[in-house]
Chain A
Amino acid sequence: MRFVFKTSYDADIKWFKHGAQLFWYMLLLAALVALPLIFVWTGNPYLLGEFTAVLIFSISCLGLMLLTGQTGLASLGHAAFMAMGCYANILLLQAGLPWLIAFPLSGLLAGFFGTMIAFPVLRLHGVYLALATLAMSIITGDVIDLTERWTGGVGGISVPDIDIFGFVINKYANPYAFYYLCLAVVLICVAAYRNLLRSPTGRSFAAIRDSEVSAQAMGVNLTRTKATSFFLSCTAAGLAGALFGHSATFVTNETFDIVMSITLFLSIVIGGLGFIHGAFLGAIISGLIPVLIANGRTILSTTMGVNINIPGLESALFAAIVIAFVLFEPMGLYGRWLKIRTYFELFPFYRKDMFRRQKSYLKTERVQ
């Protein structure tokens, strides 16, 4: 059991609570930086691509986590904002802007347009935002189709290579550089997220999540704070979308479909709502499941001669996992880890109800 004695107010907002925490995160960082060495050694960078995909996915998970886990607003259409970021990035690059400007700008554009559309809905109850974003996600493909002149529509559009001061990064030609680029973006996003959490803005997000009425009573401007959260969330989604475009190298109107939006949403639930770790764990799980199922299929068919080819099995399995989590572990994977850790830290004084959340009984907002 560790006791952290706080001797100054800064202790509450320090990046790392104690030395051991710093050590473990630095170890994780070192491992992530050293990861490509394994693939250099084996000479087959295929799996590195999977890792990069997980990194990109975790950026959009982080964005959604800020909105859903931190502010308590559900968005079922984050793939739409990824699409905005992706196409903005492509168009800006085609217009001749250097990547270092086009990339952040595409994120900001996604955030700006997302907030413009969602702003009126943000004044309402959370379900409306979920619906409006769901609608946005559904029409994304059709809007891309309609604006074929710029987006390529059904025929698709190929994504230009990244060019940083003459250093060209292409996912296939140079997977290692692309991995490090994504890692850098992830680190910047995590740092921004972490910084936000200890700022007044981040705290007002959490206040809104826990109780809108009390937040308002404390002087938080509800609509403005929700809009800020939505803007930041969409910006992260836009950045992830831009990177996703570079990773896919070719995008069509079907790339960012509704399934992607919902997968995003379900993965942060599995990871654990409200934790940065949760975004990453969720991204890992949703990246892992298809790989595991494919491998399981191959193993079954080679060793036992059984061919399982059930369409839709992946999403059904994913959904079953989500249901199990919602019912039995609402805090997600990271919540489970917290519980296990607390159990050992407090051994033998852990109580079963330590993490029980207070129940809230909804009273209708409708006229009675």
Chain B
Amino acid sequence: MDFIQLVISGLANGCVYGLIALGFVLIYKATEAVNFAQGDFMMIGAFVCLGFTNSDFLGLNFWLSIVLAMGVMAILGYLFDWGILRHMSGQSQTSIVILTIAVGFILRFLAGSIWSHEPVSLETPFAGEYVRAGGLVLGVDEILIIVVTILLTFGLYLFFSRTKLGVAMQAASQNQLAAYYMGIPVKRIQSLVWALSGVVAAVAGILFASKGAIDPASGLLGIKAFAAAAIGGFGSLPGALVGGLIIGLIEPLSARYAPDGFAGIARIAPYAILIIVLIFRPGGLFSQTQKKKV
């Protein structure tokens, strides 16, 4: 029972990591840019929702705030690409890495100044509610996280395989020039991918905040999501989720079953696994790299 309990809470954590990784992989696939600020986008998404719904701030309806937060994050993502990144196209990847790291710092600062530097919890209608099933005690928040993640993944799958916009995004990500020739507005598509990734970040942030408290530093959670994405194989959407789940499961299990005196193992485990995966299966579990052509 203990084990199943751990697994379910691990899965819930893993879903959040997976969702952050998903937003990160979306951008990487579409624009070849690595967004090191994805964790901070997640954090901002949570804070925006919190700003709408918490009684200290606007005190709006919870479900309305979720929609608003997703909208705000979509606009933010679009504007970031439109205003900054579009002017950097053609520059080296390193400069985009630098840029997004710096943006992460600024987002953390802004969140701290606008909302709070201390951890705050999101006021959800289902906070603290439990479901008893057999000998298990499951938090409603944990179940909700898993369900929402499944729904979102399914929705994204449909979006990419069935809609015209989704197919255009795939095309633009595979070969920019060829997509241009086919009449796809690649620049706008890229901005839309950023907007989509902002929405995913907002969902991840809201789920994360509903489970516990959020503070500006939780943007650093994004680093675990990078580990998840790299374990999954960087350019692969299902890989990102699987990677997130692996990391989410490893953390509580290694903390529970580590030998005495090695409790710190749980903090190292996600990154140790990342390094091990990179050493033995460098392309990640769902490897998609191939030899580069001239």
A interface list, Cβ under 8 A from B: 68, 72, 74, 76, 117, 120-121, 123-128, 130-132, 134-136, 138-139, 142-143, 145-146, 212-213, 262, 265-266, 269, 273, 310-313, 315-316, 318-320, 322-323, 326-327, 330, 357, 359-368
Contact = CB atoms under 8 A, between A and B. Distances in A.
A318 B105 CA distance: 9
Bin the interface of chain B by size. 35 or more
B17 to A, nearest CB: 14
Contacts of A74: 94, 97
B283 to A, nearest CB: 7
B102 interface: yes
Contact of A139 (B102, B103, B272): B272
Given A312-B108, A323-B103, A365-B292, A132 B98 contact: no
Contacts of A143: 268
Contacts of A136: 271, 275
B274 interface: yes
29 contacts: A72-B92, A74-B97, A76-B101, A120-B280, A126-B94, A127-B34, A127-B93, A127-B234, A131-B230, A132-B278, A136-B271, A139-B267, A139-B268, A139-B272, A142-B264, A146-B264, A266-B102, A312-B109, A312-B113, A315-B105, A316-B109, A322-B99, A323-B84, A323-B102, A361-B89, A362-B93, A364-B173, A364-B235, A368-B175
Given A313-B109, A363-B293, A366-B174, 16 more contacts: A72-B92, A74-B97, A128-B234, A134-B223, A145-B264, A269-B95, A319-B102, A322-B102, A330-B91, A357-B91, A361-B177, A363-B176, A363-B177, A364-B175, A366-B289, A368-B175
Interface string B78-120: 0000001001111111110111011111101110110001000
Contact of A121 (B29, B97, B106, B282): B282
B106 A135 contact: no
B262 interface: yes
Interface string B172-184: 0111110000000
Given A139-B272, A364-B175, A269 B98 contact: yes
Contacts of B93: 126-127, 362
Q: Which of A76, A146, A312, A362 gathers the greatest number of chain B CB atoms within 10 Å?
A: A312
A216 to B, nearest CB: 10
A315 B219 CA distance: 15
Contacts of A318: 105
Contacts of B95: 269, 326, 330
A118 B235 CA distance: 21
Contacts, number: 159
| Residue of A134, A145, A212 contacting most chain B CB atoms (<10 Å) | A134
B109 A120 contact: no
A56 B278 CA distance: 32
Contacts of A323: 84, 99, 102-103, 106
B113 to A, nearest CB: 7
A142, A323, A364 pick with most chain B CB within 10 angstroms: A364
A356 to B, nearest CB: 11
A319 B34 contact: no
Contacts of B88: 326-327
B89 to A, nearest CB: 8
* Residue from B99, B262, B280 with most neighbouring chain A CB atoms (10 Å): B99
A132 B264 contact: no
Contact of A319 (B87, B94, B105, B177): B105
A310 B226 contact: no
Contacts of A311: 112, 117
B94 A134 contact: no
B279 interface: yes
Contacts of A265: 98, 101
Contact of A310 (B113, B272, B283): B113
Contacts of A330: 91, 95
Nearest to A214: B294
Closest 3 CB pairs of A and B: A359-B90, A316-B109, A319-B105
A262 B101 contact: yes
B94 A124 contact: no
A266 B99 CA distance: 9
A320 B109 CA distance: 11
Contacts of B235: 364, 366
B282 A124 contact: yes
Given A121-B278, A132-B278, A312-B112, A320 B106 contact: yes
